[in-house]
């Protein structure tokens, strides 16, 4: 007698129903679209929507629909070509006030959307977009910390009246990068006192006393754990900043992730212009507010190269004129709470608000210095790569320019305006100040731009291969295994649906290798069925009765299926862990595919076959 537990039938039915539901949104596909958001973060108005529609029709661009979604304006297009035409048409007129991004709008009907079901996201190679891999200069983070310690130790030693020759940064304990500080001492120094003071100033250091040819010294080294901690902090800080900046770009579904120990992976679907984006993302720029020194002669200082005591020489950004500023800093960009870009009568303006402490300092300064000029210094760090001793070295070059030296006309504390930049710079500055500063600089080591037409092409090719491949398998199985072949075909179809549902649920992005993975999974899934059927045929050949043959086939094939799938699973998991990007997409599909194929082949086939041949009836022949 051939039986299958009733609850198992129910389980399979429930799982399949759920899978169908989750997989359904993906089937509907997406439309190429454009997304527009106001740069000042207010919601887009209906009037703007109409204006955009008119612009598009005026230029002969066909669009399917425009609608407002969550404060943004979405425009759907029938094809990628129209989408690009639409972008060009809209950019000319609206780019000053609006962020315009290429996007995609799923065609999921409202009924499913309401349930919160979303289609499977597509990777960059299927959608088009920009991929950037940033290298974070973590060594700078450590150096910054050590520099701070250097200053602290000097101050402490001076305050305690302990003589020292010098305090320098060192690289020691087999490390090629700087990881410690050395205090070299004159022969008269009291080693113990110095050592104790250093220990109190920097508790994290591991201290030792060394004898050098130049004398004795106290060395403090940061343990690897502390170094790692500092590096992690720098990367987390940068991640947050990058995420803020990416959000400001208005891109739909961006991804910003840490990759490995010291890299950050940024994926921006729909973005084609990498220059603009890299500029914003990688910029290390901030402001300083200082008083102008009216007593000194700036031109003389520029000629001789010496600035008078208490001042520093700068140059104006617009005219290149030299100007002397006082050394003490009133406020820095880090002390800003918000920054907004607007256009006023004076031109492009950045409205800033300082935090409480900086606000107080500003209040004092403006009160004491009415009718005297104050300058705003714009500081930018850019990466420059040179060849030094045959090796590529990327150094950061700091650029400091005075962007405004307006006279203080009234007393203000924490809220005021900065003018004197062009619109583009002002807008970027507001964005940078708002999103926070980068803890340490970063620069791109890998970059990829995929155009949207290529993305669409890739999807078409992948889906074609999948459909034709599956059709081939279906026909073959039906011919070779007859009725049981049709069972296998049904089970295979269920497998693909289940896999799609899982991928949609995991929100894992599908890549072109991922589609190839689905195709490979079809092969893996069939393997299990073939094992079972060949075993059944063998049992029949040995003279076993039909129903007993079915039972024996399933039982004996089980261990072989389980064991053999594990090896492919091992390969899939290793690739998942070590892979990135599209390769990881493939690994995810492969691994999940093996799991689903085991479920569908073992349970699904058994259920169907038992339905066909089970129960107490006498079965004469098997259509296998």
Partner 1 sequence: MEFFHKPTSFPFMATRKVWYGLSIILMITSIVSLATRGLNLAIDFTGGVTVEATFPQAANTDLVRAHLAAAGFRDAQVQNFGSARDIMIRLPPETQQNGSEIRAKVDAALKSVDPGADIRSLDVVGPQVGGEVERSAGWALTFTLGLIFLYIAFRFHTWRLSLGAIVAVIHDPVLVLGIFSIDRTSFDLAVVAAVLAVVGYSLNDTVVVFDRIRERFHVNRRLAPAAVLDQSINQTLSRTIMTKVVTAIVVVALLVLGGPVLRGFSEALLIGIIAGTYSSIYISSAIALDCGLTAEHIFPTVKKTAVDHMP
Enumerate residues 566-595 that contact partner 1 by CB under 8 A.
Answer: 566-572, 574-575, 578-579, 582-583, 586-587, 590
Q: Is 527 in the site for partner 1 (CB under 8 A)?
A: yes
**Which is closer to partner 1, CB of 245 or CB of 290?**
245
Query: At its nearest, how many Å lie between partner 1 and the CB of residue 579?
Result: 7
Instruction: Provide the pairing of β-strand 322-326 with 331-332.
Output: unpaired
**Which is closer to partner 1, CB of 356 or CB of 578?**
578
CA distance 500 to 521: 12
Q: Choose which of 313, 400, 564, 603 interacts with partner 1 (CB under 8 A).
A: 564
Residue ranges in 113-142 that form contacts with partner 1 under rule CB under 8 A = 125, 133, 135
Q: Is 313 in the site for partner 1 (CB under 8 A)?
A: no
Q: Is 287 in the site for partner 1 (CB under 8 A)?
A: no
- Candidates 521, 494, 495; CA nearest to 586 is 521
Q: Is 218 in the site for partner 1 (CB under 8 A)?
A: no
Query: At its nearest, how many Å lie between partner 1 and the CB of residue 275?
Result: 3
For residue 182, give both structure tokens. 């050395």
Residues 62, 68, 73, 76, CA torsion sign: negative
Q: Is 392 in the site for partner 1 (CB under 8 A)?
A: yes
**Which is closer to partner 1, CB of 10 or CB of 445?**
445
Query: At its nearest, how many Å lie between partner 1 and the CB of residue 174?
Result: 21
CA distance 161 to 146: 22
Query: At its nearest, how many Å lie between partner 1 and the CB of residue 613?
Result: 19
Question: 102: Cβ–Cβ under 8 A, 6 or more apart, which residues?
Answer: 32, 33, 34, 35, 83, 87, 128, 270, 271, 272, 452
**Cβ atoms < 10 Å from Cβ of 6:** 8
Question: 461: Cβ–Cβ under 8 A, 6 or more apart, which residues?
Answer: none
Q: Dihedral, CA atoms, 463, 465, 470, 476, nearest 10 degrees?
A: 160
- Candidates 250, 252, 258, 268; CA nearest to 124 is 268
Residue ranges in 195-214 that form contacts with partner 1 under rule CB under 8 A = none
Query: At its nearest, how many Å lie between partner 1 and the CB of residue 390?
Result: 11
**Which is closer to partner 1, CB of 20 or CB of 470?**
470
Instruction: For residue 397, give Cα distances in angstroms to 346, 379, 400, 442.
Output: 32, 10, 10, 13
Question: Coil, strand or helix: which one is 387?
Answer: strand
Q: Is 10 in the site for partner 1 (CB under 8 A)?
A: no
Q: Is 315 in the site for partner 1 (CB under 8 A)?
A: no
Q: Is 380 in the site for partner 1 (CB under 8 A)?
A: no
Q: Is 403 in the site for partner 1 (CB under 8 A)?
A: no
Q: Is 468 in the site for partner 1 (CB under 8 A)?
A: yes
**Which is closer to partner 1, CB of 470 or CB of 612?**
470
Residue ranges in 234-273 that form contacts with partner 1 under rule CB under 8 A = 273
**Which is closer to partner 1, CB of 220 or CB of 546?**
546
Question: Coil, strand or helix: which one is 546?
Answer: helix
Residue ranges in 543-562 that form contacts with partner 1 under rule CB under 8 A = 556, 559-560
Q: Dihedral, CA atoms, 16, 20, 22, 27, nearest 10 degrees?
A: 150
Q: How many residues bind partner 1 (CB under 8 A)?
A: 77
CA distance 515 to 112: 24
DSSP alpha helix (H) spans, 542-580: 546-578
Residue ranges in 428-467 that form contacts with partner 1 under rule CB under 8 A = 444-451, 453-454, 457-458, 461-462, 464-466
Query: At its nearest, how many Å lie between partner 1 and the CB of residue 402?
Result: 28
Q: Mark the segment that binds partner 1 (CB under 8 A) among 164-172, 192-200, 247-255, 535-543.
A: 535-543
CA distance 90 to 56: 7
CA distance 505 to 198: 55
Query: At its nearest, how many Å lie between partner 1 and the CB of residue 542?
Result: 10
The phi and psi torsions of 214 (rounded to 5 degrees) equal: -85, -5
**Which is closer to partner 1, CB of 68 or CB of 478?**
478
**Which is closer to partner 1, CB of 291 or CB of 522?**
522
Q: Choose which of 477, 487, 510, 608 interacts with partner 1 (CB under 8 A).
A: 477
Query: At its nearest, how many Å lie between partner 1 and the CB of residue 185?
Result: 41
Query: At its nearest, how many Å lie between partner 1 and the CB of residue 196?
Result: 43
Q: Is 530 in the site for partner 1 (CB under 8 A)?
A: yes
**Which is closer to partner 1, CB of 6 or CB of 392?**
392
**Which is closer to partner 1, CB of 115 or CB of 475?**
475
**Which is closer to partner 1, CB of 118 or CB of 537?**
537
Question: H or E element: which one contains 182?
Answer: strand 180-185
Q: Choose which of 154, 278, 312, 353 interacts with partner 1 (CB under 8 A).
A: 278
Q: Mark the segment that binds partner 1 (CB under 8 A) among 316-324, 363-371, 532-540, 606-614.
A: 532-540
For residue 504, give both structure tokens. 């949609």
- Candidates 354, 334, 331, 339; CA nearest to 434 is 339
Query: At its nearest, how many Å lie between partner 1 and the CB of residue 591?
Result: 10
Contact 379, 399 (CB under 8 A): yes
Query: At its nearest, how many Å lie between partner 1 and the CB of residue 556?
Result: 7
The phi and psi torsions of 123 (rounded to 5 degrees) equal: -70, 175
52 half-sphere exposure, CB direction, 13 A CA radius:
30
CA distance 302 to 324: 9
**Which is closer to partner 1, CB of 14 or CB of 574?**
574
DSSP code at position 72: E
Q: Is 295 in the site for partner 1 (CB under 8 A)?
A: no
Q: Is 623 in the site for partner 1 (CB under 8 A)?
A: no
Q: Is 353 in the site for partner 1 (CB under 8 A)?
A: no
Which residues in 258-295 are b (16+ Cβ under 10 Å) and which e?
Answer: eeeebbbbbbbbbbbebeebbebbbbbbbbbbbbbbee
């Amino acid at each position: 007698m051939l039986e299958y537990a009733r609850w198992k039938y129910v389980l399979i039915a429930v799982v399949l129903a759920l899978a169908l539901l989750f997989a359904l949104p993906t089937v509907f596909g997406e439309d190429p679209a454009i997304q527009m958001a106001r740069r000042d973060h207010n919601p887009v108005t209906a009037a703007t929507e109409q204006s955009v529609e008119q612009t598009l029709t005026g230029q002969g661009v066909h669009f399917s629909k425009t609608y407002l979604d969550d404060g943004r304006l979405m425009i759907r297009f029938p094809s990628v070509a129209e989408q690009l035409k639409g972008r060009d048409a809209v950019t000319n007129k609206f780019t000053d006030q609006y962020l315009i991004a290429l996007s995609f709008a799923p065609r999921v009907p409202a009924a499913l959307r309401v349930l919160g079901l979303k289609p499977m996201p597509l990777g960059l190679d299927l959608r088009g977009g920009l991929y950037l891999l940033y290298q974070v200069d973590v060594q700078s983070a450590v150096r910054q910390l050590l520099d701070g310690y250097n200053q602290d130790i000097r101050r402490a030693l001076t305050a305690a009246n302990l003589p020292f020759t010098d305090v320098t940064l060192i690289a020691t304990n087999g490390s090629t990068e700087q990881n410690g500080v050395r205090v070299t001492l004159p022969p008269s120094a009291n080693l113990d006192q110095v050592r104790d003071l250093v220990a109190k100033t920097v508790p994290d250091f591991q201290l030792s006393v060394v004898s050098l040819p130049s004398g004795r010294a106290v060395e403090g080294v940061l343990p690897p754990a502390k170094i790692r901690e500092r590096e992690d902090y720098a990367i987390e800080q940068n991640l947050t900043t990058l995420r803020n900046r990416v959000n400001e770009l208005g891109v739909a579904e961006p991804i910003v992730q840490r990759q490995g120990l010291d890299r950050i992976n940024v994926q921006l679907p729909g973005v084609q212009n990498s220059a603009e984006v890299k500029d914003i993302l990688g910029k290390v720029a901030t402001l300083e507010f200082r008083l102008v020194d009216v007593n000194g002669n700036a031109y003389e200082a520029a000629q001789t190269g010496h600035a008078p005591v208490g001042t520093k020489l700068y140059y104006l950004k617009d005219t290149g004129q030299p100007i002397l500023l006082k050394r003490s800093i009133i406020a820095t960009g880090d002390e800003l709470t918000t920054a907004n870009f607007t256009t006023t009568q004076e031109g492009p303006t950045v409205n800033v608000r300082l935090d409480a402490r900086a606000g107080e300092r500003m209040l004092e300064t403006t009160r004491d210095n009415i009718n005297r000029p104050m300058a705003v210094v714009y500081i930018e760090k850019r990466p420059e790569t040179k060849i030094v001793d045959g090796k590529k070295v990327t150094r950061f070059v700091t650029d400091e320019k005075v962007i405004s030296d307006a006279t203080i006309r009234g007393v203000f504390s924490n809220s005021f305006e900065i003018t004197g930049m062009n619109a583009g710079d002002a807008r970027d500055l507001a964005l940078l100040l708002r999103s926070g500063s980068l803890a340490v600089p970063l620069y791109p080591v890998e970059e990829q731009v995929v155009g949207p037409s290529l993305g669409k092409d890739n999807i078409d090719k992948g889906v074609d291969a999948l459909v034709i491949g599956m059709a081939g398998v279906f026909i073959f199985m039906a011919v070779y295994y007859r009725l049981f072949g049709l069972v296998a075909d049904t089970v295979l179809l269920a497998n693909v649906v289940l896999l799609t549902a899982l991928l949609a649920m995991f929100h894992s992005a599908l890549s072109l290798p991922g589609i190839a993975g689905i195709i490979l999974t079809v092969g893996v899934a069939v393997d299990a069925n073939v094992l079972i059927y060949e075993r059944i045929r063998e049992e029949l050949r040995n003279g076993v009765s039909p129903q007993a043959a079915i039972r024996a086939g399933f039982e004996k094939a089980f261990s072989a299926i389980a064991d053999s799938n594990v090896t492919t699973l091992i390969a899939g998991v290793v690739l998942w862990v070590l892979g990135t990007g599209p390769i990881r997409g493939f690994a995810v599909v492969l691994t999940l595919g093996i799991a689903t194929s085991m479920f569908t082949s073992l349970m699904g086939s058994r259920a169907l076959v038992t339905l066909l041949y089970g129960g107490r009836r006498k079965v004469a022949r098997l259509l296998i």
